[in-house]
Amino acid sequence: MAEEAILEPDLPIIDPHHHLWDLRPLIASFPEPRHPFIETLTHSAYYTFDQLLADARGGHNVVATVYMECGAFYRAGAEAAMKPVGEVEFVNGVAAQGASGLYGDFRPCAAIIGHADLQLGDGARPVLEALSEVGNGRFRGIRHQGAWDANPDVLGPPFHAPPRLYLSDEFRKGFRHLGELGLTFDAWLLEPQLSDVLDLARAFPDQPICLDHCGTPLGTSSYHGKLHERFEGWRTSIRAIAQCPNVTVKLGGLAMAFCGLPEEGPMAGLSSETLAAMWRPYIETCIEAFGPERAMFESNYPVDKWGASYNVLWNAFKRLAHGASDAEKRALFAGTAARFYGLEDLLA
Residue 100 lies in a domain: yes
Whether the pLDDT of residue 266 is over 70: the answer is no
Whether the pLDDT of residue 284 is over 70: the answer is yes
The Cα–Cα gap between 98 and 104 comes to 8
Query: Between the CA of residue 44 and those of 47, 239, 268, 272, 337, what are the distances in Å?
Result: 6, 34, 14, 21, 25
Contact 17, 298 (CB under 8 A): yes
Closest CA to 300 of 70, 42, 64, 22: 70
- What pLDDT, on a 0 to 100 scale, did the predictor assign at position 169? 98
- What pLDDT, on a 0 to 100 scale, did the predictor assign at position 40? 72
Residue 11 lies in a domain: no
Domain that holds residue 343: 20-347
Closest CA to 248 of 191, 187, 322: 187
- What pLDDT, on a 0 to 100 scale, did the predictor assign at position 29? 77
Kindly state the DSSP code that residue 308 receives in the 8-state scheme. Answer: -
The Cα–Cα gap between 260 and 254 comes to 8
Residue 15 lies in a domain: no
Strands lying side by side in the sheet with 295-297: 12-18, 61-68, 107-114, 139-143, 184-187, 209-211, 247-251, 295-297
Whether the pLDDT of residue 1 is over 80: the answer is no
pLDDT (average), residues 207-215 = 98
If DSSP codes are grouped into helix, strand and coil, which group holds residue 277?
helix
- What pLDDT, on a 0 to 100 scale, did the predictor assign at position 27? 74
Q: What percent of the chain has pLDDT over 70?
A: 98
- What pLDDT, on a 0 to 100 scale, did the predictor assign at position 45? 85
pLDDT (average), residues 24-52 = 80
**Within the chain, what is the greatest distance between any pair of CA atoms?**
52
- Helix, strand, coil shares of the chain as percentages rounded to 5? 45, 15, 40
φ, ψ for residue 104, nearest 5 deg = 80, -150
Q: Write out 137-194 in H/E/C secondary structure.
A: CCEEEEECCCCCCCCCCCCCCCCCCCCCHHHCHHHHHHHHHHHHCCCEEEECCCHHHH
The Cα–Cα gap between 287 and 296 comes to 9
If DSSP codes are grouped into helix, strand and coil, which group holds residue 64?
strand
The better pLDDT of the pair 105, 31 is held by 105
Whether the pLDDT of residue 257 is over 90: the answer is no
- What pLDDT, on a 0 to 100 scale, did the predictor assign at position 228? 96
Whether the pLDDT of residue 265 is over 90: the answer is no
Q: What percent of the chain has pLDDT over 90?
A: 85
The Cα–Cα gap between 194 and 286 comes to 14
Residue 12 lies in a domain: no
pLDDT band of residue 268 (cuts 50, 70, 90) is low
φ, ψ for residue 112, nearest 5 deg = -125, 130
Residue 1 lies in a domain: no
- What pLDDT, on a 0 to 100 scale, did the predictor assign at position 2? 55
Residue 331 lies in a domain: yes
Query: Between the CA of residue 92 and those of 89, 104, 108, 122, 133, what are the distances in Å?
Result: 5, 18, 10, 26, 11
pLDDT band of residue 13 (cuts 50, 70, 90) is very high
The Cα–Cα gap between 98 and 93 comes to 9
- In CATH, what number is assigned to the domain containing residue 146? 3.20.20.140
**287-316: per-residue pLDDT in tens?**
999 999 999 999 999 999 888 899 999 999
| 168 HSE (CA, 13 A, CB side) | 14
Is the pTM above the cut of 0.85?
Answer: yes
**138-188: per-residue pLDDT in tens?**
999 999 999 999 999 999 877 889 999 999 999 999 999 999 999 999 999
- What pLDDT, on a 0 to 100 scale, did the predictor assign at position 180? 98
Structural domain count of the chain: 1
The answer to which of 18-32, 117-131, 210-224, 226-240 has the lowest mean pLDDT is 18-32
Residue 334 lies in a domain: yes
10 Å Cβ neighbour count for 95?
24
If DSSP codes are grouped into helix, strand and coil, which group holds residue 205?
coil
pLDDT (average), residues 41-46 = 79
What mean pLDDT, rounded, does the chain reach?
Answer: 94
- What pLDDT, on a 0 to 100 scale, did the predictor assign at position 306? 82
Amino acid type, 73: F
